[in-house]
Amino acid sequence: MSTTAGTGAARTAAGEEEGTAMPLPVATPSMRLRRAARWWPAAFGAALLLAPYSALPLPGLLDGPIGSAGNLQLLALCLVFGALATGYDLLLGRTGLLSFGHALYFAAGSYATNTIMVESGLSFAASAVLGVLAGTALAALLGSVSLRVGGIAFSMVTLAFAQAGSILVERDPGGATGGEEGRAVPAGRLPGALIGIQHTVNLYWISLAYLLVTLAAVTWAVRSPVGRVWEGIKENERRVEVTGLRPYGFKLVAFVLAGALAALGGVVHLLLTGGATPQTTTSDFTLSLLVMVVLGGSGSRWGPLIGGVLYTWADHRLGDLAGSGTVGGLPAVLRVPLSQPLFLLGTLFVAVVYLLPGGVVRLPERIRSAARRVPSHPTPSPSVPLREEPSP
Amino acid sequence: MATVILLTVTGLGLGALYFLIASGLSLIFGLMDVLNFAHGALLAVGAYATWWAASGHLPGAGSGGFGFVLAVAFGTAVGTAAAALLELALIRPLYARPREQVLATVGVGLAVPALLSAIWGADARPFPTPKALSGTFGLLGARIPVNRLVLAAAALVVLVALKAFLRRTRYGLIVRAGVEDRAMVTALGIDVRKAFTLVFALGGAAAALGGALGGVYFGSVDPGQGTSLLIFAFVVVVMGGMGSLTGAALASVAVGLVQQFANYYTTAGLGDLSVVVLLAALLLLRPSGLTGRLA
């Protein structure tokens, strides 16, 4: 069912990655801009490396200097969710699987690590390894069941499993999960360098490392032979079957890899927030992952990361905005909806689905193609292969 | 014995509530391939509209007798209008892009409960229940709340009405044909889009009715109610075989009963889990659902 919608986007994504192979025409200003823009990930990475040492304020974007503990915490959260969205896109954008239960594996990593650490008295490192293994095993088990159905039924089944996990966590069996309050990390068990507000920078580095691991794993997996089959499954599963391959196994690999990355993210999140919280198990949490991926641009290398960072930042800052005096002074018609970050995010999401198919990453391309239509450049140079819009 | 009867009737009532949501979901999915994540929001809209009318804001409506019937009718009408609006404004421009349609409904499903809790608060509001529905009656030694029967009766009426609509009317024929093969119906020169709006409105009406009666069943309304019910409705739709009304009815009764009995005889919460286990078991044995339709 997704074949028609997916074809154009995937073609464009492939075009971007093989961009160097295209015959380059005489450099126009827009071409030079585009080539310069290719370096933005490097610039972004450098900015991330410098962030903890910067006392520069970003008025409007952040409260106070960038390097302050609170802002580093927020930035680290942004990175974790950016990475989580990148891992989730393995399913959504690369294999075409619309899973509504991805929060489960994130929460599994977080809760399993915490519970093992508290109950068995193992060190944090050993518990984290076991926690990630537990999350991965859960993904393998539930993935093998839910992948027996395809399409939308798969979405619903993953949603049901995630809901079961959410109920289980809330019921607090044997006092293992802490119910609605969640369960705090026992500070005595953690290495000293991970505790306390003065060590927030270490958590930031861990989040950055998690992001890099996720990006590397996703890029490597997508380029591997298995990744090619994923792309085929996304385009047309039946055709993959006809070539003699069984899509089930490949889909399961994608599901388990994404689950393992999510479980790892759960461990980082556990450190960042100082405890396992039941909010990470809810279906709303998975839906917010979906919003991140679609906002940034599904199926592209950087899109989910951008979406995750933007969403997390907006979620925190909109909460501040809702409580601020600026909104409080507005008439009721505006004040009431604006006081709900979720309303703003939901509306924004619908707007992105409509106005910006392909997400934020396709924004520069759209602006360029809009500029090309301006009469001052009546005909594009013929050697430029005109990319088709991903028209449905 | 009395406990078993009470649990059975309560399970049937809950199953009826699931059916009211799942019937619309199942039809919409069968015809349009859209998994409507805003269906829970439609239920919440119906529940809040009924609550608003029954609290005395709508002249003529109230919390007792005919006034309450009017309030429920008002809630259902608002839900129907909201569903039709949703289809016309958000789903229709995205035809042939099913995934984007699903995403748009996800956005609505997030935004509407947030809007409701912005206006009326995130806490549950007590639902004004007419005296006639808040009593109990005796059946084989069990005291059974009347509202369970009302829910079951409403679900039965909706099932029969939808069946009659699908079997006896021209639009029902178009909808059935569209579920089978949408492209062929379009090729025959029939405008399926009207049927889309109609099915959406019908599904919204059933969901809003479910919201109004769910308010009676739970005794309160809160913005997140629809979303939590929606997940079980999804389970029902998958178990029943997507697009099948009879399958949805069977599955919702099964889910409601299993949930009630397991919640009572084991620890609370295990019933919700056992429903999911049931779903997993069913998928392993029969991947196409109870009625064997293609999922």
Distance CA B114, CA B36 (A): 18
Distance CA B270, CA B278 (A): 12
Q: Chain B residue with minimal CA distance to A345?
A: B111
Residues 6+ apart with CB under 8 A from A260: A105, A132, A135, A136, A139
- Closest chain B residue to the Cα of A391, Cα to Cα: B97
Residue A216 lies in a domain: yes
Q: Where are the beta strands (DSSP E) in chain B?
A: 125-126, 136-139, 142-145, 220-221
CA distance linking residue B45 with residue B51, whole number of Å: 10
∠ CA A97-B192-A156, nearest 5°, is 25
The torsion angles phi and psi of A178, rounded to 5 degrees, stand at: 80, 5
pLDDT higher than 80, residue A10: no
Residue that wins the pLDDT comparison between A366 and B16: B16
CB B76 within 8 A of CB B212: yes
Residue B33: inside a domain: yes
Q: How far apart are CA A219 and CA A304, in angstroms?
A: 13
Distance CA A38, CA B7 (A): 64
Domain membership of residue B32 (yes or no) is yes
Picking from B150, B213, B204, the residue whose alpha carbon sits closest to that of residue B12 is B150
In a domain, residue A157? The reply is: yes
Helix ranges restricted to H, A236-340: 237-242, 247-273, 283-296, 303-323, 325-328, 332-338
A287 contacts A166 by C-beta, under 8 angstroms: no
| Four-CA torsion A125, A131, A307, A311, nearest 10 degrees | -90
For A153, the closest of B268, B275, B295 (CB atoms) is B295
In a domain? residue A122 = yes
> Cα(A67)–Cα(B125) distance, rounded to whole angstroms?
44
Radius of gyration of chain B (CA): 19
DSSP 3-state assignment of A102?
coil
Exposure pattern of A189-198 as b/e (b: 16+ CB <10 Å)? ebeeebbeee
Question: Nearest-CA residue of chain A relative to B272?
Answer: A164
Total domains in chain B come to: 1
Task: Tell me what pLDDT residue A323 has.
Answer: 64
φ, ψ at B144 (rounded to 5°): -115, 125
% residues pLDDT > 90 (chain A): 15
Cβ neighbors of A324 (< 8 A, separation 6 or more) are none
Residue-number span of the structural domain to which B136 is assigned = 19-223
A175 — contact with chain B (CB < 8 Å)?
no
Residue at A16 is within a domain = no
Q: State which residues form the domain around A142.
A: 62-282
| Token pair listed for A381 | 């140079």
Per-residue pLDDT at A334 exceeds 80: no
Q: Give the closest-approach CA distance of B101 to chain A in angstroms.
A: 9
Best B102, B117, B234 member to test A by mutation, with max A CBs in 10 Å, is B234
- Contact criterion met (CB < 8 Å) for B276 and A98: no
Counting beta carbons within 10 angstroms of the beta carbon of residue A355, is it exposed (0 to 12), middle (13 to 18) or buried (19 or more)? Answer: exposed
Beta strand extents in chain A (DSSP E only):
183-184, 275-276
pLDDT at A150: 76
A336 reaches B (C-beta below 8 A): yes
Kindly state whether residue A87 falls inside one of the protein's structural domains.
yes
On whether residue B260 sits in a domain, the answer given is no
Q: Is residue B291 part of a domain?
A: no
**Strand locations in B114-180, DSSP E?**
125-126, 136-139, 142-145
Q: Is residue A178 part of a domain?
A: yes
Number of domains observed in the structure of chain A: 1
Q: Which whole-number Å values give the CA distances from B59 to A195, B70, B117, in the listed order?
A: 61, 10, 24
Contacts of A358 (CB under 8 A, 6+ apart): A9, A12, A297, A298, A300, A390
Is A51 a member of any domain? Answer: no
Q: Is the minimum CB–CB distance between B241 and chain A shorter than 8 Å?
A: no
Long-range contacts of A364-373 (CB under 8 A, 24+ apart): A364/A34, A364/A37, A365/A12, A368/A30, A368/A34, A371/A30
Which of A4, A141, A147, A156 to mutate to test binding with chain B, by most B CBs within 10 Å of its CB? A156
The verdict on B17 touching A (C-beta cutoff 8 Å) is: no
- At A39-76, the pLDDT tens digits run 777 777 777 777 777 767 666 667 777 767 777 888 88
Cα dihedral sign, A373-A378-A381-A382? positive
Instruction: Please judge whether B118 and A164 are an interchain contact, meaning their C-beta atoms are less than 8 angstroms apart.
Output: no
Q: Can you spell out the DSSP letters for B195-218?
A: HHHHHHHHHHHHHHHHHHHHHHHH
Q: What is the pLDDT of residue A374?
A: 65
Residue A103 lies in a domain: yes
Contact A159 B33 (CB under 8 A): no
pLDDT in tens, chain B (295 residues): 778 888 888 888 888 989 988 888 888 887 777 788 888 888 989 888 888 888 777 776 666 677 788 888 888 899 899 988 888 888 888 877 777 888 888 888 888 888 888 888 778 788 777 776 667 777 777 777 777 888 888 888 989 988 888 888 888 888 888 777 778 888 888 888 788 888 889 888 988 888 888 888 887 888 877 777 888 888 888 888 777 788 888 888 888 888 888 888 877 667 778 888 888 777 777 766 655 444 3
Q: Which of residues 78-117 of A touch B (CB under 8 A)?
A: 98
Is A388 a residue whose pLDDT tops 50? no
Contact A353 B107 (CB under 8 A): yes
- Domain-embedded: residue B257: no
